[in-house]
């Protein structure tokens, strides 16, 4: 009985440690954000910080994936330029991505299950991004940049944009989906190699 308790305790400690390490990696990746000229306005940034969270969700469960999202945004609060609103939105979207992915993979631990879970998470994240940006992010950003200027930045790329809903649906939603899919592709390329290490089975 004591051996079983010790084994469970060892697994829990390892799980917490690996989750913290992936959270640190996600934090670092969040710093390496970059613009995508001619595709998105300059104030919209691309980063791959959801990648460690997705790996955590697959290897240790959805709670670990959510924890990674939480860690990276808490650390990012130390130098936030959005009063924490950007971090709240990023956390919400991260959870929308890794929670479905982790839950579906947990029920069907196969490559097909992982793919269905990741795609489901990416779609949910993309759809939720429209409402997250409209109701949470842009009302705050409007204090720093007039809405006319925000819409103008989108119109410079596509003159058919008439309002913020157009901008979010035509630009932010597909952009967020593609961003998620980058993490999905990279995860599928590296997961088999790193999974034994993350689970302590190497």
Identify the CATH number of the domain defined by range 2-35+42-198: 1.10.1760.20
> Going by C-beta distance under 8 Å and a sequence separation of 6 or more, which residues neighbour residue 40?
46, 157, 171, 175
Is pLDDT larger for residue 154 or for residue 43?
154
> Going by C-beta distance under 8 Å and a sequence separation of 6 or more, which residues neighbour residue 153?
41, 42, 43
With 90 as the cut, is the pLDDT of residue 197 above it?
no
With beta carbons less than 8 A apart as the criterion, state whether 177 and 126 touch: yes
With 90 as the cut, is the pLDDT of residue 156 above it?
yes
Q: Which of 14-18, 123-127, 146-150 has the highest mean pLDDT?
A: 123-127
With 60 as the cut, is the pLDDT of residue 48 above it?
yes
With 60 as the cut, is the pLDDT of residue 105 above it?
yes
Residue for token digits 């302590």? 200
Mean pLDDT of 147-163: 95
SS3 string of the chain? CHHHHHHHHHHHHHHHHHHHHHHHHHHHHHHCCEECCCCCCCCCEECCCHHHHHHHHHHHCHHHHHHHHHHHHHHHHHHCCCCCHHHHHHHHHHHHHHHHHHHHHHHCCCHHHHHHHHHHHHHHHHHHHHHHHHHHHHHHHCCCCCHHHHHHHHHCCCCCCCCHHHHHHHHHHHHHHHHHHHHHHHHHHHHHHHHHHHCCCC
Identify the pLDDT of residue 11.
61
Identify the pLDDT of residue 169.
97
With 70 as the cut, is the pLDDT of residue 5 above it?
no
Instruction: Please report how many Cα atoms fall inside a 13 Å half-sphere around the Cα of residue 62, on the Cβ side.
Output: 18
Give the pLDDT band of residue 193 (cuts 50, 70, 90).
Answer: confident
Degrees to nearest 5, angle at CA 122 with 118 and 128: 140
Residue count of the chain, please give it. Answer: 202
Q: Rounded to an integer, what distance in angstroms lies between the CA atom of residue 71 and that of residue 171? A: 28
Mean pLDDT of 131-135: 95
pTM for this one?
Answer: 0.89
Identify the pLDDT of residue 82.
72
């Amino acid at each position: 009985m004591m051996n079983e308790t010790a084994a469970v305790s060892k697994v829990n400690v390892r799980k917490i440690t690996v989750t913290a390490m992936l959270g640190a990696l996600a934090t670092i990746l969040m710093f390496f954000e970059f613009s995508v000229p001619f595709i998105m306005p300059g104030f919209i940034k691309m980063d791959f910080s959801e990648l460690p969270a997705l790996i955590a969700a697959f290897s240790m469960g959805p709670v670990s994936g959510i924890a990674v999202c939480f860690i990276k945004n808490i650390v990012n609060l130390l130098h936030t330029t959005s009063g924490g609103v950007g971090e709240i939105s990023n956390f919400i979207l991260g959870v929308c991505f890794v929670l479905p992915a982790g839950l579906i993979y947990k029920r069907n631990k196969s490559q097909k299950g992982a793919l269905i879970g990741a795609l489901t998470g990416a779609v949910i994240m993309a759809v939720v991004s429209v409402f997250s940006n409209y109701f949470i992010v842009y009302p705050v950003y409007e204090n720093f940049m007039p809405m006319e200027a925000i819409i103008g930045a989108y119109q410079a790329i596509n003159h058919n944009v008439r309002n913020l809903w157009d901008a979010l649906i035509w630009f932010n939603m597909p952009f967020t989906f593609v961003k998620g899919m980058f993490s999905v592709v990279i995860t599928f390329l590296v997961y088999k190699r790193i999974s034994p290490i993350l689970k302590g089975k190497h």
